Amino acid sequence: MDFSAPKNGFQAIRFDGDCLKLLDQRLLPAQERWIRVETAAQAAQAIVDLVVRGAPAIGITAAYAAVLAARQRGSNLAAWQADLDLLGQARPTAVNLRWAVERMRSQAATDDGLDPDRLLGLAESIHAEDIDANRTMARLGAELIQAGSGVLTHCNTGSLATGGGGTALGVIIEAARQGRVDQVFADETRPWLQGSRLTAWELARAGVGARVIVEGAACALLASGQVQWVITGADRITANGDVANKIGTYGLAVLARHHGAKFMVVAPQSTVDPAMANGQGIEIEERDPGEIWRAAGLDVAPQGFAAWNPVFDVTPADLVDVIVTERGVHRPPFAFGQH
Ligand code: MRU
């Protein structure tokens, strides 16, 4: 399969025969440096360290890492299963990670052992399915946006976060190409600045004019009437339509409702967790307070000062106007429990 240049986006994850290459997202936009991953442990660490991030992207990374691990483990299925445990536990909130790991495990069960070529076939399918899903969602989501709209997005949901052209950002770029979007705003997304570092970089590459705002400007922006759609991705969608996504998403959904803007969530089916009834069951990742103390190499809080750093929140389904997956446009009341 050729993943080198999908029409809708670019590739930040490349399987290179004997290794996995990841575009190091911690360094963007200043540097475009690739890191080489040869083992499951290195892949798990890259996921923990946010070298690669975004729900679909970490699932795809884990799938390819399972192939590398199978080659190394030979017939030692137990050691390979331990590698998969490590990958599956690298981050807790995005269900895509465990979904991909479990698909790799099922393949080994079907094959009755480790067959690296068949595992590679599955990893490539997982990747290709995501590219296709991105394309379908971009089309479905863009159709919902009325010409002349202003949109606000949060975090990064583009090619860096997925296998293809992105989820929410894919919709925004497609809608901009169709001339439906007047203005695009990207929240900077503290503390990792996925919005200002990554989304702005992707929008510039795509030739879509946009403005970055600090988180605190979102209220004033929505109050100004310049935004008709807040559009985000998701890390997990539960059966009732509750949505876990980057911290700050919930606040944007409240703001959208208050100011009469619509709130759209765009995510592939691999982000849906039909077995989880509602968002109360979602484990929210909490990261090191050091991520809050320092920014761009500077102390922005006294070192060691107490901090709380949850990196996702849960938006209740009743604040969500529409959820777009590759299967279609879903409106309330959501019912993702029935597959
Ligand atoms: O911590 P991150 O950068 O992995 O968080 C990513 C997000 O919250 C995205 O919105 C989500 O994964 C959807 S990516 C298509």
Tens-digit pLDDT string for the chain (339 aa) = 655 544 557 899 999 989 999 999 999 999 999 999 999 999 999 999 999 999 999 999 999 999 999 999 999 999 999 999 999 999 999 999 999 999 999 999 999 999 999 999 999 999 999 999 999 999 999 999 999 999 999 999 999 999 999 999 999 999 999 999 999 999 999 999 999 999 999 999 999 999 999 999 999 999 999 999 999 999 999 999 999 999 999 999 999 999 999 999 999 999 999 999 999 999 999 999 999 999 888 999 998 999 999 999 999 999 999 999 999 999 999 999 865
Q: Which residue blocks in the chain are alpha helix, DSSP H?
A: 40-48, 55-73, 77-88, 95-111, 116-142, 168-177, 200-206, 218-223, 249-259, 290-293
Pocket of ligand 1 (CB under 6 A): 53-56, 94, 155, 157, 161-162, 167, 194, 232-235, 245-246, 311
CATH tag, 13-134: 1.20.120.420
Residue closest to 274 by CA, chosen among 339, 325, 321: 339
- Among candidate residues 83, 235, 242, 273, the one labeled active-site is 235
- Which atom of ligand 1 lies at the shortest distance from residue 194's CA? 3
Per-domain residue ranges for the chain?
13-134, 140-338
Pairing verdict, β 211-213 and 181-187: parallel
Q: Is 235 a catalytic residue?
A: yes
Tokens coding 329 = 């446009």
Atom 10 of ligand 1 has which residue's CA nearest to it? Answer: 233
- Which atom of ligand 1 lies at the shortest distance from residue 192's CA? 3
> What sign does the dihedral 114-118-122-123 (CA atoms) show?
positive
Residue closest to 116 by CA, chosen among 55, 40, 57: 40
Q: Are 215 and 190 in contact (CB under 8 A)?
A: yes
111 Cα to the center of ligand 1, angstroms: 33
Give me the phi and psi of 304, to 5 degrees please: 85, -5
Pairing verdict, β 262-266 and 243-246: unpaired
Fold of the domain built from segment(s) 140-338: Rossmann fold (3.40.50)
Please tell me the pTM assigned to this model. 0.97
Q: Tell me the C-alpha to C-alpha distance, in Å, between residue 14 and each of 18, 64, 137, 192.
A: 11, 9, 23, 23
